[in-house]
Amino acid sequence: MNSPSTQFVHTRRMGIYEPVHPIAMWGENFKGNGCPNTPASTILEVDTKLDNQSEDTSHGSLGPPSNKYDQEANKPSEKVQRRLAQNREAARKSRLRKKAYVQQLETSRLKLIQIEQELERARQQGLYIGGGLDATHLGFPGTINTGIAAFEMEYGHWMEEQNRQICELRTALNAHISDVELRILVDSGMSHYFELFRMKAAAAKADVFFLMSGMWKTPAERFFLWIGGFRPSELLKVLLPQLDPLTDQQVLDVYNLKQSCQQAEDALSQGMEKLQQNVAETVAAGQLDEGSYFPQMNTAMERLEALVSFVNQADHLRQETLRQISGILTIRQAARGLLTLGEYFQRLRALSSLWATRPREPA
């Protein structure tokens, strides 16, 4: 009934079928096909050795004339020394930016705690929060889901940092900076996306329906939503035209990656359809006009717990796709890919704004 690439396991307690680690199977299928680039640690180690050699030469003792000339010939040029100094400065600024971002998140967390305390005092005084606080975003009317409120606040800061990184990448690529400096920016950009997946995992535990609805995104972004985020195989189609020229090996590796992504996506989509079918049958069980339906709701609630697992697996697939494509591309291509990815989402948000402000014909 299922294709060979899709496997399901029967969950006795819930009575549904779920995909069996599609991400793990996808990773094993692609293992060995990647084309990893030289890691940043190796490049920085070489730069450090050059720097140490420069210091040893400049402070060494004088030897025979021939040795002196050999030492002068082996000294790094002023251009290399200047570039190494620039790399160290870029790394220092990157660490400072990361520290500022963490401090910003901590400040937001403290503000959220303060809001929670104020709300608790209001409840103790007999006050309540009505539906005017956009309860569809925060939970049921009269309540505030603090986990979702924290996610929305963190996501706002994440977007600000994302826009800043896009500008920095664009400037760096136009300035033709060194691969070492580009590596720092690419690693920072990848870590930024991984931080988003961590935030989403916490939000899914707080309210998985909110996360899957895409209410934290713009309407145009929601139009392309797939299990709480972008579909990896579709995103590869957007990126590839911007990465030319690719070598024959890169083209083959990207093709294999896209095929593996589609297989994992199909497995997750089939599992979601099966879950929806089972929940619908559970809710509709018994007589709909009998007025007592709490047993069906309890069973449906148990089955809906699988939604969190589906969101986490989908985000894991997205994260691994970014990691794999980064390993296939050169560092300069990876930088262009991150820039393209960021600008693509910026254009979707711009499309949402244009749609909201479009001229309307009078009724």
pLDDT digits 0-9 by tens, 18-29: 444 545 545 555
* pTM of the complete model: 0.64
- The arithmetic mean of pLDDT across residues 269-288, rounded, is 88
CB atoms within 10 A of CB 183: 24
Which residue type sits at 150?
A
- The arithmetic mean of pLDDT across residues 271-287, rounded, is 88
**Tokens (6 digits) for 225:** 């939503």
- The arithmetic mean of pLDDT across residues 243-256, rounded, is 92
Q: In the prediction, which pLDDT does 62 show?
A: 40
DSSP 292: -
- The arithmetic mean of pLDDT across residues 21-42, rounded, is 47
CA distances from 341 to 151, 189, 190 (A): 22, 11, 11
CA 199 to chain centroid, in Å, comes to 9
Poorest-pLDDT segment among 150-164, 313-327, 349-363: 349-363
> Tokens 């579909």 map to which residue?
231
Q: In the prediction, which pLDDT does 77 show?
A: 75
Judged against a pLDDT cut of 70, whether residue 145 lies above it is answered with yes
The most distant pair of C-alpha atoms in the chain lies apart, rounded to whole Å, by 104
Residues 6+ apart with CB under 8 A from 144: 119, 129, 133, 138
* 268 close to 310: Cβ distance less than 8 angstroms: yes
Judged against a pLDDT cut of 60, whether residue 73 lies above it is answered with no
Judged against a pLDDT cut of 70, whether residue 149 lies above it is answered with yes
pLDDT band, residue 289 (cuts 50/70/90): low
Query: DSSP string of 36-66?
Result: PPPPHHHHHHHHHHHHHHHHHHHHSPP--HH
**C-alpha gyration radius of the chain:** 26
Picking from 1, 12, 6, the residue whose alpha carbon sits closest to that of residue 303 is 12
Judged against a pLDDT cut of 50, whether residue 360 lies above it is answered with yes
Q: In the prediction, which pLDDT does 182 show?
A: 93
CA distances from 110 to 100, 114, 138, 203, 246 (A): 15, 6, 19, 18, 48
First to last CA, the chain: 51
Q: In the prediction, which pLDDT does 76 show?
A: 59
Q: In the prediction, which pLDDT does 9 show?
A: 43
Poorest-pLDDT segment among 184-193, 208-217, 297-306: 297-306
17 SS3 class:
strand
pLDDT per residue over 197-236, tens digit each? 999 999 999 999 999 999 999 999 999 999 999 999 999 9
DSSP 76: P
pLDDT per residue over 95-122, tens digit each? 887 777 777 777 777 777 767 666 666 5
Strands 16-19 and 8-11, sheet pairing: antiparallel
CA dihedral 122, 124, 130, 135 (to 10 degrees): 90
Q: In the prediction, which pLDDT does 51 show?
A: 47
CA–CA distance, 88 with 204 (Å, rounded to integer) = 39
pLDDT band, residue 64 (cuts 50/70/90): very low
**Tokens (6 digits) for 74:** 């082996």
